[in-house]
């Protein structure tokens, strides 16, 4: 069996930055074991698989160790592949996923994703979690992931988490965030329990970041940067129960999987 494979850098307009995702178009789902094995072999934070479904597509995401319920950068990468390469006459595409229908539409040189909002509630800081992350935040909130808020972008940039200790706090990942220097806010994301020590750019984390910063800054439209080593740029909007997350993507690699 031969399968097409594309590697796309998401939330960037140039290769070697943003978050690389593998995207694998399928005529029908492979077994869960085969898809997990391909994701492990790719060894990227996410591999996306999609199949035709009605007027849209079914979409699933796998880290090197598990399937996840929601992934932003691999959805952006899949949308980029479909709308710019495979079906360029489409203005938009809807994916059926474990998090419900997710739409990606073209808007000038960006792709805009419609995702569910996941606001966080403030919680008591756990001393072990704070120690594992490596810096004391101003406050800690929790939703699907922990949200740790710091005073400055420099504090977030300088964090050196102890990944072995963070695994104990899974399945939640940890979002570290602070006000931006040339944008509204910055973040980093750590999820070692899911096989992702630090994710370069995390669209799904912005389902929680956008409601927080929209309320704190008093505005709906937000410009964000994820300040990992590779770095990425996101253009966000608070839509109430939904959020819009926009960015660019670029194709890095095209190949064939032999099974």
Q: What is the dihedral of CA 57, 100, 62, 118, to 10 degrees?
A: 140
Would you tell me how many other CB atoms lie within 10 Å of the CB of residue 226? Answer: 30
For 192, which DSSP code?
G
Beta-carbon contacts of residue 220 (< 8 Å; ≥ 6 apart)? 214, 237, 238, 239
Catalytic residue (choose from 46, 67, 181, 233): 46
57-72 as b/e, with b when 16 or more CB fall inside 10 Å? bbbbbbbbeebbebbb
Angle 160-161-164 (CA atoms, 0-180°, nearest 5)? 140
* 239 is known as an active-site residue: no
Angle 43-45-46 (CA atoms, 0-180°, nearest 5)? 95
What is the rounded radius of gyration, in angstroms, for the C-alpha atoms of the chain?
A: 18
C-alpha span between 225 and 232 (Å, rounded): 6
Active site residues: 46
């Amino acid at each position: 069996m031969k399968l097409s494979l594309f590697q796309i850098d998401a939330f960037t307009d140039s290769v070697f930055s943003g978050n690389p995702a593998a995207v694998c178009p399928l005529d029908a789902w492979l077994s869960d074991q085969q898809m997990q094995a391909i994701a492990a072999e790719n060894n990227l934070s996410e591999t996306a698989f999609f199949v035709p479904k009605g007027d849209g597509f079914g979409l699933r995401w796998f880290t090197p160790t598990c399937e996840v319920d929601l992934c932003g950068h691999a959805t952006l990468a899949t949308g980029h592949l479909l709308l710019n390469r495979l079906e360029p006459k489409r203005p938009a595409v809807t994916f059926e996923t474990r998090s419900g229908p997710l739409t990606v539409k073209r808007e000038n040189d960006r792709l805009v994703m419609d995702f569910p909002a996941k606001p966080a509630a403030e919680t008591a800081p756990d001393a072990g979690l704070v120690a594992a992350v490596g810096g004391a935040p101003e406050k800690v909130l929790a939703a699907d992931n922990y949200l740790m808020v710091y005073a400055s972008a420099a504090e977030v940039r300088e964090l050196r988490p102890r990944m072995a200790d963070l695994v104990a706090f899974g399945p939640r990942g940890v979002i570290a965030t602070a006000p931006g220097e040339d944008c509204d806010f910055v973040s980093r994301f750590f999820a070692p329990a899911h096989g992702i020590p630090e994710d370069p750019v995390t669209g799904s984390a912005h389902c929680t970041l956008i409601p927080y910063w929209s309320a704190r800054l008093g505005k709906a439209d937000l410009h964000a940067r994820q300040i990992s080593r590779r770095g990425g740029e996101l253009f966000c909007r608070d839509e109430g129960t939904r959020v819009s997350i926009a960015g660019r993507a670029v194709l890095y690699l095209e190949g064939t999987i032999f099974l």
